[in-house]
Chains A and B, each alone.
Chain A
Amino acid sequence: MTIDQEIRKYPFSEAPGIDIDPVYGLLRSTEPLARVQLPYGEVSWLATRYEDVKTVLTDPRFSRAAAQGKDQPRTREEMTYEGIIGLDPPDHTRLRKLAGKALTARRVNEMREGAQRIANEYVDEMIAKGSPGDLVELFALPYPITVICELLGVPFEDRAQFRIWTEGLTSTSEQLMVYAEQLFGYMGKLVAQRREQPTDDLLGALVKARDEGDRLTEQELLSIAGVGLLLTGVETVSTHIPNFVYALLTNPELMAQLRADRSLVPAAVEELLRMIPLNPAAMFPRYAVEDIELSGITVRAGEPVLVSLPGANRDPEIFDNPETFDFTREQNPHVAFGHGPHHCLGAQLARMELQVALHTVLDRFPELSLADGDAGVSWKSGQLVRGPNKLLVAW
């Protein structure tokens, strides 16, 4: 019976560096559906097995829409408008289809050259400034911001300001409110311009969709374009670039393997995604709309379930030697981008940007090292995504 189960405080410990708390592995084998209490909200289930995680993410009896209005398990007190991630099909489909158009594999591939050019420009500047340098400030942050600016159609002259807001959005809450407001205002202005003069960029396409047939509300439009794509599109990639480079610098055999065979880069990106969680803690609980059994335990209708993607990504039922980096896996069905209807909308863009970033680092820094050992690396703390906010490298 569920009542006997210990209720664990969640998130678990902040494991150092790019590691994850070993308790996920323990739970996966002994308590696949754990009871957890987050800082706010009701007690929740936490699924750590690959199969259970996929079931929760795909079975329509687990709902994101049903979570709205509930005392959702969460890490912050306030609850905000959730946009696309708070909907189920078919409402979800309507929003997703529009935003997804800009981010198809074909569109993303067309952007690859542009991304490479942008990456080279920032590395040129970095090299001009001289070794050592902070890879985060000089490369990992400005590069994805500029890629998203091109995608959205932010004019070149506004990019410096745009960068201040974007970086600010991931800082402290007080500053965040100010920046969020300014950014929303600015995006509103760009939208108004596109009403006057239609454009081909992503924002133009969204405005067109909004104005023809009223398929998007104004709030949806701003939330997809302004905060949704921006925050998620920038913070995710800019966090994983230093995570990945750190993993390569601290595992020299992996770095050497990639330098020796550059065709491994796409597989390396997948393996790094599998092993290094962007956010070690689970979020966006799904609510059961009927009683459903998972790993022999009945989740009752109305109960929330969180899924641990890092737990699933190291499930020995699915992955051989799950705790080891292996760039030559034949199959790598990791769930770092989620699964099912909410599968990361930006996955193809993120993959492309990360591949380009790794190629650029390998090309332009034939002898890269940590400039000051671990003393030159500092880690984001108390933030949602985990990764270095400073990575001092020498070349």
Chain B
Amino acid sequence: MTTVDTRWTVTVDRDACIGTGVCAGAAPRQIEIRAGKASALAPETAPDEAVIDAADMCPMSAITVRDAASGALLAPEE
């Protein structure tokens, strides 16, 4: 995997989200709470461990992080 142009997609299942704000605390540059639920600030981001943490910490497993090119699941851990 080349690091230079690797991009990750961050999606939030807003039906599953219960609005704890935990994810936005862990990844404030990528995720915010909008109208009571989590929302990705941009559909894609540069790789950043913080979004993996956010997805792993979400109690509802509402956040999914994938490799943009391959679609491979990066988080949450199963």
Do A and B interact? yes
- A residues adjacent to B (C-beta < 8 A): 54, 57-58, 60, 89-90, 92-93, 96-97, 100-101, 103-106, 331, 333, 337, 339-343, 347-348
- One digit per residue, 1 when the CB lies within 8 angstroms of any chain A CB and 0 when it does not, for chain B 14-50 equals 0000011110111010000100100000000000001
How many residues on chain B are close to A (CB under 8 Å)? 17
Q: Are B21 and A341 in contact (CB under 8 A)?
A: yes
Q: Would you list 23 pairs from A and B whose C-beta atoms are within 8 A, ordered by A residue?
A: A57-B21, A58-B21, A58-B24, A58-B25, A60-B28, A92-B25, A93-B26, A93-B50, A93-B57, A97-B56, A97-B57, A101-B56, A105-B61, A333-B19, A333-B36, A339-B20, A340-B20, A340-B21, A340-B24, A340-B25, A347-B20, A347-B59, A348-B59
Chain A's interface: helix, strand, loop or mixed, by majority? helix
Set of chain B residues within 8 Å of A100, measured between Cβ atoms: 56-57, 59
Q: For the complex, is B67 an interface residue (Cβ under 8 Å from A)?
A: no
Given contacts A97-B53, A333-B36, A337-B20, contact A89 B59 (CB under 8 A): no
Set of chain B residues within 8 Å of A60, measured between Cβ atoms: 25, 28
Q: Are B60 and A105 in contact (CB under 8 A)?
A: yes
Q: Are B26 and A105 in contact (CB under 8 A)?
A: no
Which A residue sits closest to B37, measured CB to CB? A333
Set of chain B residues within 8 Å of A339, measured between Cβ atoms: 20-21
Set of chain A residues within 8 Å of B59, measured between Cβ atoms: 100, 103-105, 347-348
B32 to chain A, nearest CB (A): 9
- Complex-state Cα separation, A100 to B77, whole angstroms: 12
B43 to chain A, nearest CB (A): 23
Set of chain A residues within 8 Å of B21, measured between Cβ atoms: 54, 57-58, 339-341, 343
Contact among B19, B24, B33, B53 with A93 in the assembled complex (CB-CB below 8 Å):
B53
Given contacts A93-B57, A333-B19, A348-B59, contact A341 B36 (CB under 8 A): no
- Complex-state Cα separation, A92 to B53, whole angstroms: 11
Contact among A101, A106, A343 with B22 in the assembled complex (CB-CB below 8 Å):
A343
Q: Are A104 and B25 in contact (CB under 8 A)?
A: no
Set of chain A residues within 8 Å of B20, measured between Cβ atoms: 337, 339-340, 343, 347
Set of chain B residues within 8 Å of A58, measured between Cβ atoms: 21, 24-25, 33
B49 to chain A, nearest CB (A): 9
- Extra A-B contacts (10), CB below 8 Å, given A58-B25, A96-B57: A93-B57, A97-B53, A97-B57, A100-B56, A104-B59, A104-B60, A104-B61, A339-B20, A341-B26, A343-B20
